[in-house]
Structure 1
Amino acid sequence: MTGHAEPQPVVPPMPERTPKALREAIARHASQLLPDFDEHWKWAVADAYDISTVPAFMARWWGEYAHARDPRLDAHVRDLEYRAAYECTDSDEAKGFLEEASNIRHHARRLEPGQ
């Protein structure tokens, strides 16, 4: 008897690296992030009348979207952080979990449009 594998969810590609494209991707594929994205945009860029903040804004939300678009990856990172904070009694083990989560987050920020 053969087992049936569950279909793997399709992870949408990263959008163009513009605030508008990123917002559209968040609205379409990770709508739970949209209120925070919009609020952050409003106070960090729009109300500040300061476009110099856009690169930092994009770096943060690029990484947030990269995880949220892939529920399995997002759950894995959150699990690593949870285990480090609440389950570890050994500081080296906790450090290892946090380093792994950090490496995943850093990798996500380096993704290019279309990946």
Structure 2
Amino acid sequence: MTSVPLDTRAVPPMPEKTPKALRAAIAQYAPQLLVDFDRHWRRDIADAYDLAPVPAFMARWWSEYSLARDPQLEAKVHSLEDAAGQESDYSRAKALLAEAGDLRRAAAKAEPGQ
């Protein structure tokens, strides 16, 4: 008999790196982000004659989704950020924000399928 690990949550894989695939993944796994994603898309991309903002749009929302698809990681990042906001010692607050930033950057490096 094999034992089942206590942490059985499955983090959904990252989608293809296209706006359409990213939107579908957000709709399915992180619907709390969908309104802001769509608003940002309509405001900055949908009617644009210049596609220059698309890479920045994708980078931002790739990062947001990568974090939101893992509720435990997202909670840890927000906890660190909240703790930094309450910290009276500047060095400690800076360290907490640096740790949160490191986690955000690591999440944003996820590749499709990971």
Write the mapping of 1:1-115 to structure 2, written as runs, cut at 5 A.
Answer: 6-86=6-86, 88-115=87-114
AA partner of residue 33 (structure 1): L
RMSD: 1.4
Q: CA deviation digits over 1:58-98, x for unaligned, max 9?
A: 00000000010000000000000000012x11111111110
Structure 2: tracts of 5 or more residues without a match: none
**Partners in 2 of 1:50 and 1:6 — Cα distance?**
49
1:6 deviation in Å?
4.0
Give the structure-1-normalised TM-score. 0.91
Give the structure-2-normalised TM-score. 0.92
Which contiguous aligned blocks of 4+ residues in structure 1 show a shift greater than 2 angstroms?
4-8, 47-50
**2:67–2:108 CA contact under 8 A, matched in 1:** no
- Count of equivalent residues: 111
Q: Percent identity of the aligned residues?
A: 56
1:48 deviation in Å?
2.6
